[in-house]
Amino acid sequence: MPRLRKILFYLVVLVSFFLVRRSFVNDSGKEQFPVVVIGSGLAGLSAVNQLLNDDVPAVLLDKASSFGGNSVKAASGISGAGTSVQKKHHVEDSPELFLQDTLSSAKGRGVEKLMKVMADESAGAIAWLQERFGLKLDLLSQLGGQSVPRTHRSDGPLPPGAELVKALTRRIKNVSRDYPDKVKIQLDAKVTDIKINKETNRVEYVVYRDASNQEQVLRTGNVLVATGGFSYSQDMLKKYAPQVAGLPTTNCLLTTGDGLNILQSLGAHLVDMDQIQIHPTGFVDPKDRKNNWKFLAAEALRGLGGILVNPSTGKRFVNELETRDTVTESIRKACKKSEGVSLLVISENTFQDYKSSVEFYISKGLVQKMPISSLVSEYNLPISATEIASDLIEYSTEKKDKFDRVHKINTFGDAVTADTEVYVAEITPVVHFTMGGVKIDEFSQVLNESDSPVADGLYAAGEITYGVHGSNRLGGSSLLECVVFGRIAAQHISRNF
């Protein structure tokens, strides 16, 4: 028996040796290095999880000290067409319909081939998140430009982006702890360059600065750049989209286009860099007005009854439910005196209808409850409280709206006085999403100006890329592109590893 044990022991050693060897040496016997994934937003996290799945070793780098980038902020959800959840709710949808919606929103821009990939893979992406990570994603909403309810989220304490990041991160952390050879996590690692071997035209090194600002070099054969967009960089907005420069943003301060600049220096084609999505309502924090970062005031605040008032007249000035670009234009034109700041006013009924969110905004000091008389004194409005009260009554009761707003719910009623309490916030247009970016092919490889891959082993996914949104991004489509193209890049790498 001891002899059998000995044989078994050597057998195990032998098998382990080949298993370990497999992860570093490919069939041609050459050394293989871990894939480097830059950026721990949803695109990077999806890629690393797919690589884990395919048993390909990876290193995940992020310049932040924690995971998730902008992806943790996403609040509406992730789109998918033809999912089991839609079937359960008897929603008839298909990748074809999703593609049509995407094309009409894109207004002639973007890459149809990539949009088709995103639509075709969308149900699979949702199923992957549900099955592999145990996420429910069982609630649906229909956002602007969608023919049917298509954006998925879970009923739970965490908003959708945070839920996704948490689940995908947990698995990576677990594996990294137990099998450090399979995946390494390197936070506080700011990538500054990627080097390509001129002879083989394959990526060879990633250069980054570590927590103590020391330069480090990582040898590799495959790099996925998933560093997000450039909404936080005033320099890049000035350069590529001067029409929106100076506007604050809902994006976190990590969103500075680092990956775009690195890839451009390697020969990548940057397309539609002037295509920026502006959201009309970001909260101005009265305690921190000048902050370039603004908390997003959800569209639902207006959808559920909120109106906009010009602080230099004390009057409404726009149909609040026009498309995002139109409302933005009106605010920028009408509220010049207040430097683009407008007042968002909601009724007690709207508050009741959207209670947990508004309570959250109140707790952050972004929304305040006050009688109309205080509204006038607080914001120095040039009209009297009784005048405002009668304007609100007129708005609530008139047959035809001055600005053709048709959808009126949760109005202020017909008994408004100077003592009536309302909820008030200061809002301003904000840079929300950058549609342009690096051109990629259907395998997520980075392309040059003649549509050839810039180098072997060079990939990009997520907001850094151009193609699936054209001139307007639909709600829920960004988280989706992260999962779809993050996984596609990983699978393409795995196949050739």
Ligand X SMILES: *[C@@H]1O[C@H](CO)[C@@H](O)[C@H](O)[C@H]1NC(C)=O
Query: Would you name the residues annotated as active-site residues?
Result: 279, 302
Q: CB of 337: closest distance to ligand FAD in angstroms? A: 28
3-state secondary structure 328-380: HHHHHHHCCCCCCCEEEEECHHHHHHCHHHHHHHHHCCCCEEEEHHHHHHHCC
Q: Where are the beta strands (DSSP E) in 215-269?
A: 215-219, 223-225
3-state secondary structure of 440: strand
**Comparison of 49 and 338: residue with beta carbon closer to ligand X:** 49
Q: Are 301 and 354 in contact (CB under 8 A)?
A: yes
Burial 476-490 (b: 16+ CB within 10 A, else e): bbbbbbbbbbbbbbb
Q: Could you say which of 221, 257, 306, 486 contacts ligand X (CB under 6 A)?
A: 221
Task: Provide the token pair at 52.
Answer: 């884990």
Q: Of 328 and 478, which CB lies nearer to ligand FAD in the complex structure?
A: 478
User: CB count, 10 Å around CB of 445?
Assistant: 20
Q: What is the enclosing helix (H) or strand (E) of 497?
A: none
Residue 147 binds: one of ligand FAD, ligand X, none (C-beta under 5 to 8 A by kind): none
One-letter amino acid identity for 354?
A: Y
Contact set for ligand FAD, span 91-110 (CB under 6 A): none
Read off the DSSP letter of residue 238. Answer: H
71 scored as a contact of ligand FAD (CB under 6 A): yes
Judge whether 166 and 99 are in contact, CB under 8 Å: no
Report the nearest approach of ligand FAD to the CB of residue 266 (Å). Answer: 14
* Site membership for ligand FAD, residue 176 (CB under 6 A): no
429 binds ligand X (CB under 6 A): no
Q: In what order do the strands lie in the sheet with 151-153?
A: 78-79, 151-153, 139-141
Backbone angles phi, psi at 213, to 5 degrees: 65, 25
Q: Are 218 and 94 in contact (CB under 8 A)?
A: no
| Residue 171 binds ligand X, judged by CB under 6 A | yes
Among 66, 174, 352, 377, binds ligand X (CB under 6 A): 174
The interface partner of residue 63, options being ligand FAD, ligand X, none and the CB cut-off 5 to 8 Å by kind, is: ligand FAD
* Total residues in contact with ligand X, by rule CB under 6 A: 15
65 or 450: whose CB is closer to ligand X?
Answer: 450
Residue matched to tokens 């395919």: 54
Of 56, 224, 482, 493, the one binding ligand FAD (CB under 6 A) is 482
The binder of ligand FAD chosen from 69, 110, 221, 437 (CB under 6 A):
69
**Among 39, 95, 221, 467, interactor with ligand FAD by CB under 6 A:** 39
149 or 453, CB closer to ligand X? 453
Q: Is 463 in the site for ligand FAD (CB under 6 A)?
A: yes
Give residues with Cβ within 8 angstroms of 163, minimum separation 6: 135, 153, 154, 156
Segment 326-365, which members bind ligand X (CB under 6 A)? Answer: none
Q: Of 390-409, which residues contact ligand FAD (CB under 6 A)?
A: none
The whole-angstrom separation of Cα 185 and Cα 59 is: 6
C-beta atoms surrounding 242 within 10 Å: 10
| Among 345, 476, 488, 491, contact with ligand FAD (rule: CB under 6 A) | 476
Cβ atoms of 240 and 269 closer than 8 Å: no
Q: Which of 14, 20, 22, 26 binds ligand X (CB under 6 A)?
A: 26
In angstroms, the Cα distances linking 492 to 28, 51, 457 are: 18, 10, 9
When asked if residue 265 is in the footprint of ligand X (CB under 6 A), the reply is no
21, 30, 399, 400: which one binds ligand X (CB under 6 A): 30
Regarding 63 and contact with ligand FAD (CB under 6 A), the answer is yes
Q: Of 96, 181, 359, 449, which one interacts with ligand X (CB under 6 A)?
A: 449
Within 145-164, the residues that bind ligand FAD by CB under 6 A are: 160-161
**How far apart, in Å, do the first and last CA atoms of the chain sit?**
41
**For ligand FAD, which is the closer residue by CB, 311 or 486?**
486
Stretch that binds ligand X, among 240-248, 297-305, 411-419, 445-453 (CB under 6 A): 445-453
Shortest CB 253 distance to ligand FAD, Å: 9
Helices and strands, counts by H and E, the chain? 15, 19
Q: Residue numbers of the site for ligand FAD (CB under 6 A)? A: 38-44, 61-64, 69-71, 73-78, 160-161, 189-191, 226-228, 250-251, 254-255, 258-259, 296, 433, 462-464, 475-479, 482
